[in-house]
Structure 1
Amino acid sequence: MAFAKRALPLLAVGLLAVMALWPEIESNAERGRVAFRRVAEVRPDALHVVEPRYQGVDEQNRPFTVTATSAVQQGQAEIVQLLAPRADITLTDGGWVYLEADRGRYAKPEERLDLAGRVTVHHDDGTQFVTESATLDLHGGNAAGDVPVAAQGPFGTLTADAGFRLQDRGQVVQFLGNSRVVLESAQTSGNGPEGGE
């Protein structure tokens, strides 16, 4: 009886406390369930990689590196959107080529890279090639563009208003539309005429 006299008031206070706090406990439990359900149902819409870097060698055993500010692949699509893609390759003669663009789109099944926004190609001999868009067939080693292109280097300058075609891994280059070339010649010295063009 003495135990009941002490236990019943404590039990009553405990029940009152539970009744007073029950709405808060229930709302916390509900928030917990909602949060858990949301986490359980989250599915990524896209794979986003910051500063991706890919290194490898091509079929001629030349090392290359491809980087970008970011790469995004939507769901299960085999298309990767690239922001500020950059690529460089070391050539068999020891020279190098560096390519950059504002954005790119890589289609894995076709092994095709579409570049846009000031596409620039630098060669270590001082040649620079600039256009606004280009498509590269990575498997076949071909490239093409259908917008104006400009090039400059030790040879002089070149412009073409309808694009270019690069075939046989750079062995054959065609410039389309109205094209203009200004060739530079080496300066001569001695008693002959000064300079030359």
Structure 2
Amino acid sequence: MVRASRLVAAMKMLLPALAITLVALVLIWPQISRNTADIPVDQAPVTLEDVDTLRMANPRFVGQDENDQPFEIVARAATQIGDTGQAVELDHPQADMVNKDGTWVSLNAEEGVWFKDASVVNLTGGVALFHDAGHQLVTEEAMIDMGPGNVFSEVPTQGQSPGGTIRGEGMQSLDRGARIIFTGKARAVLYSTGASE
């Protein structure tokens, strides 16, 4: 009899404790499974270098030049250089500028660095400039001064338009493409529009 009463007393304490444990497990389990499901298995580990670097995918920067004309800079990725955030490394950047008359100029390259405080973008690696009048310039390096909308290159540049082709040792695209000057030794081939068939 004594053994049976001890067993009953133990069960009176054990069963409520077991019931409370099961209820707590039912309430907590969804939170545990949700948190583990949110952890991507194939995510690369974060290194100390990544902590000091701010990187953004598919960024889009918009602004206005000194004449209140809009410009836009987009890229596949942007990485902050240094602690100040004033220099941004751009992967496959594209810069678009719109003129008051509705014409536009677009530049793209493989790489670039945007100095935000100076409003300057340095482009490298297969730089191409397009003007909606049909002009196209190709060079390896160029610098865009976003303030006045000027583009400069001090390396060989090739250009083509409906009127012909031109090659120079450098170029200047001024006033958002309104004037294009080839610098150094230049050679132009002009297409004749008045030739009879």
Q: Same fold (TM over 0.5)?
A: yes
5+ residue gaps, structure 2, are 4-8, 11-45
> How many residues are paired up?
156
The TM-score normalised by the length of structure 1 is 0.67
**Where does residue 51 of structure 1 map in the other structure?**
58
CA change 1:95–1:133 in 2 (3 A) is: same
Post-superposition shift, 1:125?
A: 1.7
In the alignment, the residues of structure 2 paired with residue 115 and residue 163 of structure 1 have an alpha-carbon distance, to the nearest angstrom, of 14
Kindly indicate whether residue 107 of structure 2 is the aligned counterpart of residue 99 of structure 1.
yes
In the alignment, the residues of structure 1 paired with residue 49 and residue 166 of structure 2 have an alpha-carbon distance, to the nearest angstrom, of 53
Kindly indicate whether residue 75 of structure 2 is the aligned counterpart of residue 68 of structure 1.
yes
5+ residue gaps, structure 1, are 8-38, 189-193
Cα deviations by residue, 1:77-100 (Å, 9 ceiling, x for unpaired):
421100000122222222222111
In the alignment, the residues of structure 1 paired with residue 49 and residue 163 of structure 2 have an alpha-carbon distance, to the nearest angstrom, of 57
Q: What is the CA RMSD across the aligned residues, in angstroms?
A: 3.0
Equivalent residue for 1:80, pick from 68, 74, 88: 88
Higher relative contact order (CA 8 A, sep 6+): 2
Cα deviations by residue, 1:133-162 (Å, 9 ceiling, x for unpaired):
0112223543321110011011210001x2
The TM-score normalised by the length of structure 2 is 0.67
What is the percentage of aligned positions where both structures have the same residue? Answer: 38
Post-superposition shift, 1:49?
A: 0.4
Equivalent residue for 2:162, pick from 140, 149, 154: 154
Q: Which runs of 4+ in 1 moved over 6 A?
A: none
In the alignment, the residues of structure 2 paired with residue 42 and residue 158 of structure 1 have an alpha-carbon distance, to the nearest angstrom, of 46
Alpha carbons 1:101, 1:115 under 8 Å: kept: yes
Alpha carbons 2:92, 2:111 under 8 Å: kept: yes
